[in-house]
């Protein structure tokens, strides 16, 4: 049981139920999304009729549904939700609980020292125990950690310990080893090649303590540090800054962020133990999060608790990462099918995840060829009607940019001028990513051999 902090008793609470304000915002967003989709269906009737005459009515219905109707519904719901987002203020406290940081590291000799330095510089008044779990690295990761422990002048409230394993057992096993050794009841995971901002631990703990009862985990904000390294990394900066951040913010409004990512998230130790720790899967973080949601726990999001990470700089590394993420989604759906029928607001988002396979499949096999046909004057799939999607997509980007830009200003940060990355993100990124995701789904459904790949 966690120690009380001030007047806040952090004993294990009962499952959280959404309040009236949250349910009201949910209903309003749902009605707006339904209205937008209804209008889209009416406007698309000529398009559907023409495409059906050329191909088949069922094909036309499928293609247009997953090119326009389903994405339109999702974007309308997202925009409406974000415009009504008024999350509880993140409060400061006179005393802070101890936190155990678990840093799972494999072959991170070039990055681990910077990660340790960012831990040592934390502006956090509570105790910090950092456990670096070297998961059978074949390079000098362990030695770099030992040198870092000796050379870093540690503040009195911070300790660093190396857990050195000779064999590589996988990230889940490494995290569970750290959990077994942890001294504190708040557990925070960070990647071995990432860097915390000075206030990140304090901010994610304050968000956890300020959030509604029933909160068992809080996902931090992971942003890209190496956006100028390559065009691929530059495009991912916008994906993390816009897409991922927007979705997590919206999901947390309705008490259920679907992924408390292993790169930077805070968990209650007793909640981790209640679901058996991290599962031996490729997508251990999403499967763990869904296990918590299945128990009725609330998962929050700390949008201003920032960790900088290095995004995969090459196409090959990017493909391996997104393939692993896609496989993790299939693993979560297979292990926690009951979430599809659990009566809570986040059930809608679980169903959205079910639609990612047909969405990615349709965009890869139908929409992309449709763009090629349009270039030769055949507007059967991509044409004037598809332009109706652009206003909503534009509104979505404006809303999330304003929200993120305001958060950056509050944190003393400035959005980088990354026009090449933005152009690639808008015009090419989805066309590249979606076929990779489809391949990941197929690999998992056909039970192909699993490997951790890149983070």
Which residue from 301, 309, 308, 87 is spatially nearest to 203, judged by alpha carbons? 301
The percentage of the chain sitting over the pLDDT mark of 70, rounded to a whole number, equals 93
Checking if the pLDDT of 197 tops 90, the result is: yes
Helix/strand/coil for 287:
helix
Average pLDDT estimate for 338-352: 92
Q: Is residue 92 situated within a structural domain?
A: no
288 and 139 both lie in a single domain: yes
Contact between 111 and 139 (Cβ < 8 Å):
no
161 and 105 both lie in a single domain: yes
Q: Is the dihedral of CA 374, 379, 382, 384 positive or negative?
A: positive
**Confidence band for 455, pLDDT divided at 50, 70 and 90:** very low
Give CA separation, 365 vs 347, 368, 425, 431, in Å.
28, 6, 20, 10
292 and 374 both lie in a single domain: no
Q: Is residue 1 situated within a structural domain?
A: no
Contact between 160 and 174 (Cβ < 8 Å):
no
- pLDDT given for residue 256 in this prediction: 87
What's the rounded Cα separation, in Å, for the pair 151 and 189? 23
Q: Is residue 246 situated within a structural domain?
A: yes
Beta bridge partners of 8: 5
Checking if the pLDDT of 442 tops 50, the result is: yes
User: How many structural domains is the chain composed of?
Assistant: 2
Q: Is residue 429 situated within a structural domain?
A: yes
Q: Is residue 306 situated within a structural domain?
A: yes
Checking DSSP bridges between strand 195-196 and strand 128-135, what pairing results, if any? unpaired
Query: 222: domain range?
Result: 99-317
Q: Is residue 410 situated within a structural domain?
A: yes
161 and 289 both lie in a single domain: yes
More confident of the two residues 255 and 384:
255
356 and 303 both lie in a single domain: no
Specify the pTM: 0.91
What's the rounded Cα separation, in Å, for the pair 232 and 223? 14
Q: Is residue 15 situated within a structural domain?
A: no
Q: Is residue 379 situated within a structural domain?
A: yes
Checking if the pLDDT of 439 tops 90, the result is: yes
159 and 281 both lie in a single domain: yes
Q: What is the pLDDT of residues 73-96, one digit of tens each?
A: 999 999 999 999 988 888 999 999
Checking if the pLDDT of 454 tops 60, the result is: no
Cα 147 to chain centroid distance, Å, stands at 33
Last residue of a domain, one of 274, 297, 317: 317
Last residue of a domain, one of 317, 337, 360: 317
214 and 258 both lie in a single domain: yes
313 and 353 both lie in a single domain: no
Contact between 189 and 104 (Cβ < 8 Å):
yes
Q: Could you tell me the CATH number of the domain that includes residue 126?
A: 3.90.550.10
410 and 352 both lie in a single domain: yes
Q: Burial code of 236-259, b = ≥16 C-beta within 10 A, e = fewer?
A: bbbbbbbbbbbbbbbbbbbbbbbb
The two tokens of residue 178 are 């750290």
359 and 274 both lie in a single domain: no
Return the beta strands (E) in 35-180 as ranges: 99-105, 128-135, 158-165
276 and 386 both lie in a single domain: no
- pLDDT given for residue 378 in this prediction: 86
């Amino acid at each position: 049981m966690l120690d009380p902090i001030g007047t806040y008793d952090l004993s294990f609470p009962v499952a959280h139920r959404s309040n009236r304000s949250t349910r009201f915002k949910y209903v309003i967003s749902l009605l707006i999304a339904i209205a937008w989709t209804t209008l889209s269906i009416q406007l698309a009737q000529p398009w559907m009729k023409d495409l059906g005459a050329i191909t088949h009515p069922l094909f036309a219905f499928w293609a247009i549904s997953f090119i326009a109707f389903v994405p339109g519904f999702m974007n309308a719901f997202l925009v409406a939700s974000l415009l009504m987002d008024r999350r509880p203020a993140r409060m400061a406290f006179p005393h802070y609980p101890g936190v155990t940081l678990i840093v799972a590291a494999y072959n991170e000799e070039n990055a681990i020292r910077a990660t340790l330095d960012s831990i040592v510089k934390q502006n956090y008044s509570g105790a910090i125990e950092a456990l670096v779990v070297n998961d059978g690295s074949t390079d000098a990761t362990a030695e770099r950690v030992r040198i870092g422990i000796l050379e870093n002048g540690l503040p009195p409230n911070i300790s660093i310990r190396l857990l050195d394993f000779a064999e590589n057992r996988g990230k889940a096993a490494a995290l569970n080893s750290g959990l077994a050794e942890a001294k504190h009841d708040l557990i925070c995971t960070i990647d071995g090649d990432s860097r915390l901002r000075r206030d990140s631990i304090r901010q994610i703990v304050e968000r956890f303590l300020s959030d509604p009862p029933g909160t068992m985990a809080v996902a931090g904000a992971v942003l890209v540090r190496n956006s100028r390294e390559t065009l691929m990394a530059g495009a991912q900066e916008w994906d993390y800054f816009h897409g991922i951040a927007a979705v997590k913010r919206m999901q947390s409004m309705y008490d259920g962020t679907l992924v408390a990512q292993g790169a930077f998230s805070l968990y209650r130790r007793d909640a981790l133990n209640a679901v058996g720790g991290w599962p031996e899967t490729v997508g251990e973080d999403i499967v763990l999060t869904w296990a918590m949601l299945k128990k009725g726990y609330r998962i929050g999001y700390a949008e201003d608790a920032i960790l900088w990470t290095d995004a995969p700089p090459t196409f090959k590394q990017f493909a391996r990462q997104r393939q692993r993420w896609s496989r993790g989604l299939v693993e979560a759906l297979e292990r926690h099918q009951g979430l599809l029928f659990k009566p809570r607001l986040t059930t809608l988002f679980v169903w959205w995840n079910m639609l990612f396979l047909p969405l990615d499949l349709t965009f890869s096999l139908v929409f992309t060829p449709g763009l090629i046909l349009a270039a030769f004057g055949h507007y059967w799939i991509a044409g004037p009607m598809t332009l109706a999607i652009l206003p909503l997509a534009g509104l979505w980007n404006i809303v999330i940019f304003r929200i993120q830009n305001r958060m950056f200003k509050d944190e003393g940060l400035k959005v980088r001028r990354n026009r090449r990355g933005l152009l690639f993100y808008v015009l090419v990124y989805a066309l590249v990513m979606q076929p990779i995701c489809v391949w990941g789904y197929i690999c998992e459904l056909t039970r192909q051999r699993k490997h951790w790949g890149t983070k």
